[in-house]
């Protein structure tokens, strides 16, 4: 691909447990959890009453009152995370010679402005009384809520990005697929710098209700701090989360020329579909393994080169088995030696956003040489028999990190990050 | 790099379900924007839309799947079935990883979503369907099409409002170039339920005329906003060499060029100038290895309001220079309304069929072009050899995308 490769030069995070990259990293390395009883609304009627919520004040985080007024929370998260990532990258979009025509936006989201759409609907339908809603109660910015692309547009407008812009919306793999899309834009020469990541703010009654209906979320309501239990034998579903992470994905030579700090390179990206079931997974993990194998081929690396696996680890019964099988299939014996962990144990599962939040965690893991743990991991499940880094972070030099995601619709995604200089 | 070619198309449109029905109606110049029939829209500012008549889920999928899915998914499954049959392509008969699905999406399964939010607030959480989590979200169509057709290759969902159909095709081409031989691309929309219509009227860009003839009128002096619509198209895209190997003698066309830019000007307002749209057109043409002089016809975005139409006309003028008044420009979506991401996918089909049949459809519902535009708007179907088509699309908030289609002879030579 014309010798172009992509690196990550900036990281911005809005996550439960603290706004900003530093607070996020502190939480992950401490092994604390940010899951709690839902406070945004009265969760009494719901089967799952726990979530990982962000304590987020958009004005304090730097948004204007008009940005707040017209944007759903998922867009607000994205703008704040993007601003932090750009500042971290050292790109000065106003004065440095950044070619704005080659500055792109690739932002993932699984469910867009669901929260705002639900809130507005309550008014238009008078609390669900009228199917024929009264359009006179529609807020001025309801179109922005209907089309999730408005989030990418907001990011492009705020940062003057005239390159290709899009929302990537592949459900729960959106965060990986958006960064993968950014990586391909850079490799193919369509952009030099991409504001890439994902965002979701799904903690609303309708989202809780729809996952209640399929019993996908945890009902460990009496113990919210320990409800997200990936790979543990007593796991009973995922814990809803919210947040955003943005990575600055930059062409390697572009980054080198300006002397940018490089967290890591993107060495390979792939996705597959399981063509099986919208929500179900076969226990064999074949399609995820196929995606992992593809990333290794692209990176010209061997399974043994992987020093950490950031798992999807949602904490549902079937996911964690499916994924463990995929790791064994792709990595062979190495699967038993490499540390595997799920940060969803601490920050919950923020649907489309989590893939990017996990890539932010991986970038920081490489940077600081620390493997984040799987919190709440206590009782091994015989079907999940790998090293899941229970409870405590580990200092370890990390050269190559694999992150994977799995989502409704059958999407299976994998991405490989590598320490600068580690790949060709 | 082998060319990427279109080997099959499938259409579900207000003007016809099935490619030939759509094309026949389009060339006949029939207006298919009508007063909204599925509910009483009289309280809305906009009361007309392009609706797919007599479209029933039971013609394309069983009841079990129908209750799990929204109308936009039924349309995607139907359009996919047509496209695969047209291409003579059996995804299940190949290596499963050799076929991907990349769709654009504007607003997802929003009628299903309205129904379940309604159920939750009227009757409580136990009333919410177990399928809400898979029916509304924007990836529903990609997932369902993958499952139904057994495709396991790289897949994606690209969301950029009305530009999404072209961005999906751009992404599909990228996927093919990276080694997946076949990708189903395109998209459908079905945003005509009470709530989604209320959401759409909030953008201030739709017509308020109750009379279809006076409603959506791209490039007309009476342009006053657009009519929304439902439907879309699916295209089978293939690596030209692989298509040849499986016996495709003559694909429809090559996806020769693609580009996307963003105005990055304002979340709502039209940009001050057409600079980024012009750049998008030029870049897509250059990406095809062509020059503006090679373009035989422009299938325009045709937003149907004076400010946005004016900007697009200026972009065409800047791109084509002294030849601008001699390049045929059309916008057949004037007959059916704007179908968001489904509409840009459908305009690619119009381009493909124009190449196939050597005929350019007219601008839909154009009565009186703005004289100052000075372009060669196609007023009646025009018979002429068509080799190179530039398709443009825009999305609310500043998205610009262009695809250049080229006749199949070049692709055959190259392979």
CATH architecture label of B256-406: 3-Layer(aba) Sandwich (3.40)
Q: Is a pLDDT exceeding 60 seen at residue B415?
A: no
Lookup: tokens for A2 = 């014309």
Kindly identify which residue of chain A lies nearest to residue B158, measuring between CA atoms. Answer: A168
Distance from the A144 Cα atom to the nearest Cα atom in chain B, whole angstroms? 8
How many Å lie between the alpha carbon of B383 and the closest alpha carbon of chain A?
35
Contacts of A410 in chain B (CB under 8 A): 143, 146-147
In this complex, the residue of A129, A135, A278 whose CB is nearest that of residue B143 is A278
Alpha-carbon span B67 to B130, nearest angstrom: 10
Hey, are the CB atoms on A273 and B121 less than 8 Å from each other? no
The ranges assigned to domains in chain B are 4-245, 256-406
Number of H-type helices and E-type strands within chain B? 13, 16
With an 8 Å Cβ cutoff, are B155 and A162 in contact? Answer: no
B310 touching A, CB under 8 A? no
Q: Which pTM value belongs to this model?
A: 0.98
3-class secondary-structure state, position A317 = helix
Q: Where are the alpha helices (DSSP H) in B246-372?
A: 275-287, 306-320, 340-357
- The residues pairing with B183 across neighbouring beta strands, listed in sequence order, are B100, B237
Strand spans (E) along B155-276: 156-159, 182-189, 231-239, 253-262
Q: For residue A424, is pLDDT > 50?
A: no
CATH number of B4-245: 3.40.47.10
Instruction: Write out pLDDT tens, residues A350-400.
Output: 999 999 999 999 999 999 999 999 999 999 999 999 999 999 999 999 999
Q: How many percent of chain A have pLDDT more than 90?
A: 96
B120 → chain A, closest CA residue: A206
Among B19, B10, B6, B142, smallest CA distance to B72 is for: B142
For residue A112, the chain B residues in CB contact (below 8 A) are 108, 138
Residues in B 112-151 with any Cβ partner in A closer than 8 A:
113-114, 116-125, 128-130, 132-134, 136-140, 142-144, 146-147, 149-151
The shortest CB-CB distance from A275 to any of B146, B196, B201 is to B146
Q: What angle do CA A319, A324, A329 make, to 5 degrees?
A: 125
Q: Which residue has the tokens 């600055």?
A: A248
CA distance B384 to chain A (A): 34
Residue B182: strand pairing partners: B99, B238
Question: Do B4-245 and B256-406 come out as alike in CATH topology?
Answer: yes
| Contact (CB, 8 A) for B83 and B22 | no
Minimal C-alpha gap between A307 and chain B (Å): 26
Task: Say whether residue B189 is in contact with chain A using an 8 A CB cutoff.
Answer: no
Is residue B414 over pLDDT 80? no
Name the residues of A annotated as catalytic.
172, 312, 349
Q: Of B128, B76, B63, B124, which is closest to residue B103 (Cα–Cα)?
A: B76
Q: What is the pLDDT of residues A139-177, one digit of tens each?
A: 999 999 999 999 999 999 999 999 999 999 999 999 999
User: Does A128 score more than 90 pLDDT?
Assistant: yes
- Give the pLDDT confidence score for residue A1 in this predicted structure: 47
> What are the pLDDT digits (tens) for B235-246?
999 999 999 999
> Other C-beta atoms within 10 Å of A279: how many?
18
**B174 Cβ under 8 Å from any chain A Cβ:** yes
Domains of chain A: 6-257 (3.40.47.10), 268-418 (3.40.47.10)
**B286 at A interface, C-beta within 8 A:** no
């Amino acid at each position: 691909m014309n010798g172009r490769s992509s690196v990550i030069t900036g990281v911005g995070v809005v996550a439960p447990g603290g706004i900003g990259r530093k607070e996020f990293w502190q939480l992950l390395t401490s092994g604390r959890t940010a899951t709690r009883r839902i406070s945004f609304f009265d969760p009494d009627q719901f089967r799952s009453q726990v979530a990982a919520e962000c304590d987020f004040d958009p004005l304090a985080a730097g948004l204007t009152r008009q940005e707040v007024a017209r944007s759903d929370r998922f867009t607000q998260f994205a703008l704040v995370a993007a601003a932090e990532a750009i500042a971290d990258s050292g790109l000065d979009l106003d004065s440095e010679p950044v070619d704005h025509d080659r500055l792109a936006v690739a932002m993932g989201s699984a469910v867009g402005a669901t929260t705002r759409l639900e809130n507005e609907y309550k008014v238009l339908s008078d609390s669900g009384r009228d199917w024929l809603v009264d359009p006179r109660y529609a807020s001025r910015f309801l179109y922005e809520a209907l089309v999730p692309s408005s989030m990418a547009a907001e990011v492009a407008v705020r940062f003057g990005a005239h390159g290709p812009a899009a929302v990537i919306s592949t459900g729960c793999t959106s965060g990986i697929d958006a960064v993968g899309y950014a990586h391909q834009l850079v490799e193919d020469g369509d952009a030099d710098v991409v504001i890439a990541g994902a965002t979701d703010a799904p903690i609303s009654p309708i989202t809780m209700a729809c996952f209640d209906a399929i019993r996908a979320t945890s009902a460990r309501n009496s113990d919210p701090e320990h409800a997200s239990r990936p790979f543990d034998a007593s796991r009973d579903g995922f814990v809803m989360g919210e947040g955003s992470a943005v990575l600055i994905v930059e062409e390697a030579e572009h980054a080198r020329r300006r002397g940018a700090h490089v967290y890591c390179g993107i060495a390979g990206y792939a996705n597959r579909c399981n063509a099986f079931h919208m929500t179900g997974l076969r226990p064999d993990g074949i399609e995820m393994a196929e995606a992992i194998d593809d990333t290794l081929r692209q990176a010209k690396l061997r399974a043994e080169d992987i020093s950490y696996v950031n798992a999807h680890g949602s904490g549902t019964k079937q996911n964690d088995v499916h994924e463990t099988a995929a790791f064994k299939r792709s990595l062979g014996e190495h699967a038993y030696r490499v540390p595997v962990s799920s940060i969803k144990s601490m920050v919950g599962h923020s649907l489309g956003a989590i893939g990017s939040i996990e890539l932010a965690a991986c970038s920081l893991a490489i940077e600081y040489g620390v493997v984040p743990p799987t919190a709440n991991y206590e009782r091994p499940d015989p079907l999940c028999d790998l090293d899941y880094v229970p409870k405590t972070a580990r200092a370890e030099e990390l050269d190559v990190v694999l992150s994977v995601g799995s989502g409704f619709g059958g999407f299976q995604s994998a991405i490989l990050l590598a320490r600068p200089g580690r790949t060709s | 790099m082998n060319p990427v070619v279109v080997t099959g198309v499938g259409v579900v449109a207000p003007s016809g379900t099935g490619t030939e029905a759509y094309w026949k109606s389009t060339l006949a110049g029939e207006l298919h924007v009508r007063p909204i029939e599925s509910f009483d829209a009289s309280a809305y500012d906009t009361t007309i839309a392009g609706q797919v008549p007599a479209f029933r889920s039971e013609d394309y999928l069983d009841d079990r799947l129908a209750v799990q899915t929204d109308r936009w998914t039924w349309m995607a499954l139907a359009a996919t079935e047509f496209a695969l049959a047209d291409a003579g392509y059996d995804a299940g008969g190949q290596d499963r990883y050799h076929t991907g699905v990349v769709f654009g999406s504007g607003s997802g399964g929003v009628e299903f979503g309205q129904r379940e939010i309604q159920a939750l607030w009227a009757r409580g959480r136990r009333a919410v369907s177990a399928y809400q989590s898979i029916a509304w979200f924007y990836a529903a169509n990609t997932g369902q099409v993958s499952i139904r057709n057994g495709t396991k290759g790289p897949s994606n969902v690209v969301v950029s409002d009305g530009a999404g159909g072209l961005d999906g095709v751009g992404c599909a081409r990228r996927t093919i170039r990276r080694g997946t031989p076949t990708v189903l691309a395109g998209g459908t929309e079905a945003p005509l339920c009470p709530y989604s219509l209320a959401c759409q009227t909030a953008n201030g860009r739709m017509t308020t005329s109750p009379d279809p003839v006076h409603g959506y009128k791209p490039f007309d002096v009476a342009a006053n906003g657009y009519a929304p619509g439902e439907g879309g198209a699916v295209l089978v895209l293939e690596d030209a060499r692989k298509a040849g190997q499986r016996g495709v003698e003559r694909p429809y066309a090559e996806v020769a060029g693609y580009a996307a830019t963003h105005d990055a000007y304002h979340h709502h307002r039209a940009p001050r100038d057409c600079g980024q749209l012009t750049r998008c057109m030029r870049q897509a043409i250059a990406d095809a290895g062509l020059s503006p002089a090679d373009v035989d016809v422009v299938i325009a975005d045709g937003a149907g309001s004076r400010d946005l139409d004016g900007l697009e006309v200026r972009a065409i003028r800047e791109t084509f220079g002294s030849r601008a008044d001699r390049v045929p420009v059309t916008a057949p979506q004037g007959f059916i309304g704007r179908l968001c991401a489904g509409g840009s996918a459908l305009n690619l089909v119009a381009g493909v069929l124009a190449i196939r049949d050597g005929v350019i459809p007219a601008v839909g519902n154009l009565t009186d072009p703005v004289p100052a535009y000075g372009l060669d708007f196609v007023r009646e179907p025009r018979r002429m050899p068509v080799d190179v088509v530039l398709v443009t699309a825009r999305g609310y908030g500043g998205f610009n995308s262009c695809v250049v289609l080229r006749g199949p002879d070049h692709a055959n030579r190259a392979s």
